[in-house]
Structure 1
Amino acid sequence: MAASAPVLITALALVTACAPAAAGTGGVSGQGAQVMAATVSADVADPVRLRIPSIGVSTRVTGLRLDAGGRLIAPKRFDQVGWHRGGPEPGERGVAVIAGHVDSTTGPAVFYRLRQLRPGARVHVDRADGSTVTFTVQRLARYPKNRVPDREVYGSGGGAQLRLITCGGDFDRKRRSYRDNVVVYAG
């Protein structure tokens, strides 16, 4: 669980949860780390499962950390998502971030159909204490990795917010990464 005092969330310099990547790298990231503040309470349990019925996702949630450059380290498995442990748990005030791979060298990954989500779709996060928090998709956006609007993506707005993030756009074979990130905004 996160501390009850305000927590500083590095803006993740967008997600390393893009694949396929060179073996062992976990993916690629965007740029620049900007610091955002979020108020976090200590009474919400960690996420353990993400369910998105409209696109057929039901997967385990693992904890993720930032690398030395302030980028979120991608989940190790392509069939699971990861939650940024340094930020709010889903359901706490602020922006909780869950990232997952779009594909792998062998085929589609957990967030392959994320770009198909539409406003109004429900996203359920089951927590370690047996509770579930449900979010409603508000919108989707796609940003070039080097021009992610950190304040818009990670700014808390009001109440509990959720961002689902994966890669998208064209695949750059030379860099072995996607050029963009797909971000789902849910509240």
Structure 2
Amino acid sequence: MTSMIKKTFLIYILFLFTTLSGSLIQATESSPSEGDLAFQQMKEQIIRENNIVEKTVEQKERQSNAIEKTAEQKIQQKTQSIQEASLLKEQKATEKQLGITPALIEIPAIDARAEVIEVGQTAAGNMEAPANIHTIGWYEPGIKPGSDGNAVLAGHVDGLSGPGTFFNLKKLEIGDEIHITGTGGEELTFVVKEKEAYPPVDAPLEDIFGSSTAPQLNLITCTGIFDTEIGHYDERLVVYTELMES
């Protein structure tokens, strides 16, 4: 009986040992070691860092592309501005050389603004005056405003109905501006350089209507004392202007 108990006990001990050994072996085979865990964590960290680097590179590439695009746009805008400025300069040079057909005159200093029409010569060979006191006449047989030479505009100082467009022309001072708009919308600005009053017979026609190496515009109106016997003023006012360089 005792021998049987001992034998049974030994078999039980052997069973426990075998079971525990198998569990330990299985645990050893299925559970990673500390080194494996550390390696796995390092691998995952490297992957995360690599993803961050890739995203950073992509962001920098996008930023670089945006900067390059902005730079290209600025270059294009600058080039376009230069081309437009060059074209405008050429256009103004052409206008200066050929002149413009005046359609409108504006004189801010005396708050004057009027239509400009073409006039020619009278039978006596003098410059015609516009029929309307609020209209300015451009001497069409002469020079166009903006071309080299003396272009001439004339207007009435007053009339039976009241003051004309050039009523305050005598108030202009050196440096005041005269703006001329052409029939095609072209714009030129002239600056007053001198003004003189002459008796009609003493007016220096060559200075007023003659040739010049620079673009000039001369404005004429009546001034002085009104002579009731002849129905005219006894003097002519001439305002000499020159083209403002742009």
* TM-score, normalization by structure 2: 0.58
In structure 2, the partner of 1:167 is 222
Using the alignment, how far apart are the partners of 2:204 and 2:108 within structure 1?
Answer: 28
In structure 2, the partner of 1:80 is 135
Amino acid at match of 1:185: Y
Using the alignment, how far apart are the partners of 1:157 and 1:44 within structure 2?
Answer: 14
The superposition leaves residues 68-106 of structure 1 with CA deviations (integer Å, 9 ceiling, x where unpaired) of: 211111101111101000011110111000000000012
User: Aligned to 2:126, which of 65, 71, 89?
Assistant: 71
In structure 1, the partner of 2:60 is none
Matched, 1:55 2:110: yes
In structure 2, the partner of 1:181 is 236
Using the alignment, how far apart are the partners of 1:43 and 1:139 within structure 2?
Answer: 25
Aligned Cα root-mean-square deviation (Å): 1.4
Matches within 5 A, 1:144-159: 144-159=199-214
Matches within 5 A, 1:112-127: 112-127=167-182
**Gap runs ≥5 in structure 1:** 1-40
Offset of 1:138 from its aligned partner? 0.3
Structure with higher helix content: 2
Question: SS state of the match for residue 68, structure 1?
Answer: coil
Offset of 1:51 from its aligned partner? 0.6
Offset of 1:42 from its aligned partner? 7.9
- Percent of matched pairs sharing the same residue: 35
Task: Determine if contact 2:97/2:148 at 8 Å carries over to the other structure.
Answer: no
Using the alignment, how far apart are the partners of 1:44 and 1:144 within structure 2?
Answer: 30
Task: Determine if contact 2:97/2:146 at 8 Å carries over to the other structure.
Answer: no
Question: SS state of the match for residue 230, structure 2?
Answer: coil
Q: Which has the larger radius of gyration?
A: 2
* TM-score, normalization by structure 1: 0.75
Structure with higher strand content: 1
Amino acid at match of 2:230: R
The superposition leaves residues 14-54 of structure 1 with CA deviations (integer Å, 9 ceiling, x where unpaired) of: xxxxxxxxxxxxxxxxxxxxxxxxxxx98433100001000
Using the alignment, how far apart are the partners of 2:100 and 2:180 within structure 1?
Answer: 11
Amino acid at match of 1:118: E
**Gap runs ≥5 in structure 2:** 1-95
Paired residue total: 147
Say which structure, 1 or 2, has more relative contact order (CA 8 Å, 6+ apart): 1
Task: Determine if contact 2:98/2:144 at 8 Å carries over to the other structure.
Answer: no
Matches within 5 A, 1:28-39: none
Task: Determine if contact 2:143/2:150 at 8 Å carries over to the other structure.
Answer: yes
